Amino acid sequence: MIPNGTNVYGIIFSSLSKEEIARKFSTSGWVIWKASWIDWEITNEFSELIIEGDNEILIHGPVSPDYFNTLTEKMKEMGLKFSMELYDENQKLAIEIKN
């Protein structure tokens, strides 16, 4: 179940554009669309994420805690370098993964 509020925050370290990163998620089963003139939204059955930022590519949004590791494993499979944090319902850091 996707939580009501944002519980995942991360940075993607890449020379790819936000659109190119979103398209990587698209080929792995996420639905993508432009959320604004410059940002992208990506969703699937366990996540609703925003990809934004200029100098750093930020990714954040609600993710079912049971699928956080699935998300980060998919990101590794896509060849993305990142730092991702999952927070619990009390807004305390539960898991941090860097690759």
Domain ranges of the chain: 8-98
8-98 maps to CATH 1.10.1220: no
**Both structure tokens of 16:** 């790819």
Q: pLDDT of 33-74, one tens digit each?
A: 999 999 999 999 999 999 999 889 999 999 999 999 999 999
Burial grade of 71 (CB within 10 A; 0-12, 13-18, 19 or more):
buried
Q: pLDDT of 69-94, one tens digit each?
A: 999 999 999 999 999 999 999 999 99
Q: How confident is the model at residue 95 (pLDDT cuts 50, 70, 90)?
A: very high
Q: Residue 49: which residues within 8 A CB-CB, separation 6 or more? A: 8, 41, 42, 43, 59, 60, 61, 63
Reduced to 3 states, what is the DSSP secondary structure of residue 32? Answer: strand
Separation of alpha carbons 34 and 83, rounded Å: 23
At 54 the pLDDT is 84
> With a threshold of 0.75, does the pTM exceed it?
yes
Q: Residue 54: which residues within 8 A CB-CB, separation 6 or more? A: none
Concatenated DSSP letters for 58-85? EEEE-B-GGGHHHHHHHHHHTT-EEEEE
Number of helical H runs and strand E runs in the chain: 2, 7
